Each structure stands twice: as structure tokens, then as C-alpha cells.
Chain A
Amino acid sequence: MTTRPEPALTARDIHKAYGRHQVLRGVDLRVDPGQLVAVVGENGSGKSTLLKAIAGTLRVDRGEVALSGTLGYCPQDPVLNANLTVDQHLRYFAAAHRLTALDRADELVRLLGYEKYRDTAAGDLSGGTRQKLNLTLALLHDPDVLLLDEPYQGFDWETYLRFWDLVDQLHERDKAVVVITHLVFEQERFDVLADLVDGRLTPRDTAVKEPSHAGA
């Protein structure tokens, strides 16, 4: 193994309680550029809480988060505006990121296969298409670190495979990706699997996989 690069994301000693229910009890996580990390855990184990804490949408009781580069966060439940169309969402977020072109947005919409809904209001989209838009908004600015909270919910099989093609591309381009998952059969895709149990994250002792991989 060579010298480890500067981490893209470091979370240290993250604590979070809801009332008296202690959900996170000192989570540590380090993700290097180009690393694909899965956070695995049962329902209610605090996976989404952890991602929200890292993304900064939730206040933690204790802990630190350091990022190098830009962040993209795809929340589990799509956060969209029902009154705005797909295209209007893309424009709104292009303005937020001060993008100079919408090339990446066009590419993502094409790749996830929902071009025909560009003029449809988000409130009228199916669950799967809402999720595609939710994911597109997280990827629009080509972030260096990506936090994806079960990003393929509601995807059909073909879209699911396209999603992994997209993640592979990001992986090859040295993006750091953290995905929350509870599906066993896709675990071979990841560089690191980390179990969230009793409020702590424990990396699973698995061999680092080869950079190229195919199939589900």
C-alpha cells in the first residue's frame, strides 16, 4: 500500500441523541478521494442521522467534520419543490452553484433516462423519477465528496444499473462517495463496508476490491 492521500472527508467523534435516545455514540469516518464507502446498518441504526450530520443539515451534540472540496448530498426522501418543473429545479440549483453551463445536468438527466419529464412539475412525477431528480440535484455541480442516502429507492432495474455506471464513473474520477445501503447483494461494489452498530461505525474486515468491477 502506498502513502494515504489527504482525506476527502473526515468525521470525528460524532455524537447525536434525540431526547434520551442516543443514536450516534462517537462515529469516526475517513474517506479518501476515489474511495467508495458503504454505511450498512439496520433500520433505525442512525445511518441517515449520520449522513445528515456530515452534510450539516442536522446539528450534532459533539464531533467534528472536515471536508476537502465540494459536497453533494442526496437525502433519502427527495427534497424538491412540487410546484417547479424538472428544468426549473435544474436552473434553480445551477444558480445556487453559480454554474456557467448546464452540460452536466443534461448529461445526468439523459443518463438516468428521464428527459421526457423535463417540463413536468415535481409534484406530478412518479416516486422513481422524483428520486432521479433528487440524485441529479446532488450531482449537478460535480462535487468532490458525495453522500448518498439509499439513492436508488424506487428505481427500476435498468435505472439501478445506470446508477451504478454513474457511480463507477465518479469512482474512476477520484470522487469520494459514501452510500447508505442495506442490500447485501451489492456489497462487492464497495471499497469499504462499515457497519453502524450501537451508534459506532466499524469497518468490516474485507479485502480491498479491484478498481474495475462488473455486474450486480
Chain B
Amino acid sequence: MPAPDTLPGTPLYGQFPTALRFSVREQSRNRLAALLLLLFVPLWYLLMTAIAGDKDVDFKLYATGEMLSVGGKHITLITAGLNALTMISGFVVFDAVRKALAFDKRLAFAGFGQSTLVGAKMLAIGIVASTIALYTALALLLYWRPGFTGWGTILAGFATMTLTYGSLGLLLGVLVKNDLEGFFLIIMGGLTDTFLQNPLGNPAANKPVLQYFPSFGPMQFSVGGSLGDTVLWRYLGFGLIWAASFAVVGLIVFHFRTRSRRPKG
């Protein structure tokens, strides 16, 4: 008679490494997102710089109150990168989380620690988001060489932005019922958020109301570092607060949606 193999002993597979590995895999198996990242990002930069031209624009750095006169092309490259990232990272995480929700619930019922699953999912989002941000920041070098510190701050701004929209993807993935709603919210949210920050496309770009948008912090940080010779860490923090807020709400909803409903006798 076969004995149940749940008796004491070392489990064959650890829960955290297994969940992390498979979460990264499910998020990185999105072929459309990979294609968008590889081809769309460089083309998007090309298109946006062509539209931007060589005109200088004023950009307000809120930390110093200083009004910078910067190349419209450079500002546009940063907003174009941020914009592409919102769509790609939001889409990747939303798609993976939504499709795996019922499966994750089954795993949790089978004994997978919910907090382990949640932690692994979040770390996987971090890994995938950082990879997407790195590629997008590298592709920017085809059109502009802002210097190492400048590029570093752009990369950090991009990484914060991918985390924010990755976390938004997570939140929408556990909340909305179908694909279209989620995609629409991510695309419209990302477009509105990033384009309003660009003074070339939006004459009201330097207005204080923009401080309350998720891309405000990463945009200020990236522009400050690459065009203003100032590294505004506090502004990177603003972006991270957005990312953390979306993630915390998303993970709380995830926790509720994967818990057991069995009425106790």
C-alpha cells in the first residue's frame, strides 16, 4: 500500500524558490510584451524625437523651484521611455496576475503559504520590472548620451516607474473582471500620467497639480539628474511610495481573494 508522502522529512521543493521561479517565468512568457519591448521602445523613441524637434522648453524642478531650459528632444525621450514602460510593465504584470489568480488560489488551498506566494510574486515583479527598465534605459542611449550620472538617474526613474505600473498591474489583475478593462485603464492611465509631465506636449506641464501623478517623482528625478545636475532622492521616494501603495492594496486584495471560505464546523 503506498504510504502518503507528506510524512516528516525535507520537502523536495522549497515554497519560496519554487514560487519565485515560476512567477518570473509566467511574467516573462508574454511574447507580445517582449516584442513590444524589443521593437516598440526604440521605434517609439525615434518617432517621438522626430516629432519633438530641436526646440528648447522650460521645465520646472520642484525641489529647487528652478525653471530649467532644456532640449525638448531630451525631455521627450524621458517621457517616451516612461510612457512605454507604463504600458509594458503594467500589461506584463496585469496579464500574468489575472490569468494565474484562480491557479494561485488553488495553490493556496493546497497549502502554499499565502505570504510566501505574495512575497515571491512581488520579488518576481521587481526582477521583471528592473529588466524592462534596464532595457528601456539602454535603448535610450541610441538617441542621447546623458553621461553616467544622468543615465543612472534616468535608469532609477525608469525602474521606479516600472515598479509603479507593475504594481498597478497587480492591483488591476486582482480587481478587474476582464482583459479589456485592465488594458484600457493601464494604457489611458499611463498616457495621461506621462504626457502631462512633458512641457512640449502639455503647456500646463509645470503646474503644481501634476505633483499628484505617479510619474511626477520619477520624471523630476530623471530630469534633475540628467539635465539639471541635481540628484533629487526625495522625488525618487515619491515614485516608490506610489509603487508601494499600489502593491500593498493589490496584495491585500490578493490575500482576500485566495483565502479559504470553508465554513468551520
Contact = CB atoms under 8 A, between A and B. Distances in A.
A23 to B, nearest CB: 15
A98 B111 CA distance: 8
B46 interface: no
Nearest to B4: A142
Interface in A81-127: 81-84, 88, 91-104, 107
B15 A95 contact: yes
B264 A70 contact: no
Contacts, number: 119
A66 B263 CA distance: 8
B207 interface: no
Decide if the interface of chain B is mainly helix, strand, loop or mixed: loop
B2 A107 contact: yes
A196 interface: no
Q: Which of A54, A80, A82, A100 has the most CB of B within 10 A?
A: A100
B13 A81 contact: no
Interface string A43-82: 0000000000111111110111110001001010001111
B65 interface: no
B261 interface: yes
A95 B112 contact: yes
Interface stretch (B82-90, B95-103, B156-164, B192-200): B95-103
B261 A57 contact: yes
A12 B265 contact: yes
A159 interface: no
A155 to B, nearest CB: 21
Contacts of B18: 91-92, 95
* Most central of B9, B19, B25, B262 by chain A CB within 10 Å: B262
Most chain A CB neighbours (cut-off 10 Å) among B13, B25, B264 = B13
A80 B4 CA distance: 24
A130 interface: no
Contacts of B1: 173
A200 interface: no
B107 interface: yes
Given A95-B19, A95-B112, A104 B100 contact: no
Residue in A63, A96, A102 whose Cβ sees the most chain B Cβ within 10 Å: A96
Interface residues of A, number: 45
Contact of A142 (B6, B26, B112): B6
Contacts of A177: none
Contacts of B11: 94-95, 98-100
A141 interface: yes
A187 interface: no
A202 interface: no
Contacts of A60: 261, 263
Interface string B217-237: 000000000000000000000
Interface in A1-25: 10, 12, 14
A173 B105 CA distance: 29
Contacts of A102: 12
A83 B10 CA distance: 28
Given A56-B260, A58-B261, A137 B29 contact: no
B5 interface: yes
A79 B2 contact: no
B209 interface: no
B110 to A, nearest CB: 4
Given A79-B106, A81-B26, A99 B264 contact: no
Nearest to A77: B102
Nearest to B25: A83
Contacts of A57: 105, 109, 260-261
A84 B7 CA distance: 27
A66 B262 CA distance: 9
Interface of A: 10, 12, 14, 53-60, 62-66, 70, 73, 75, 79-84, 88, 91-104, 107, 137, 141-142, 173
7 closest cross-chain pairs (CB), A and B: A56-B262, A66-B265, A64-B265, A100-B9, A96-B110, A95-B13, A59-B261
Given A80-B103, A95-B13, A99-B6, 12 more contacts: A70-B6, A73-B109, A79-B105, A83-B29, A83-B99, A84-B22, A84-B25, A96-B15, A97-B110, A99-B12, A141-B111, A142-B6
6 contacts: A57-B105, A79-B106, A83-B26, A100-B6, A100-B7, A137-B106
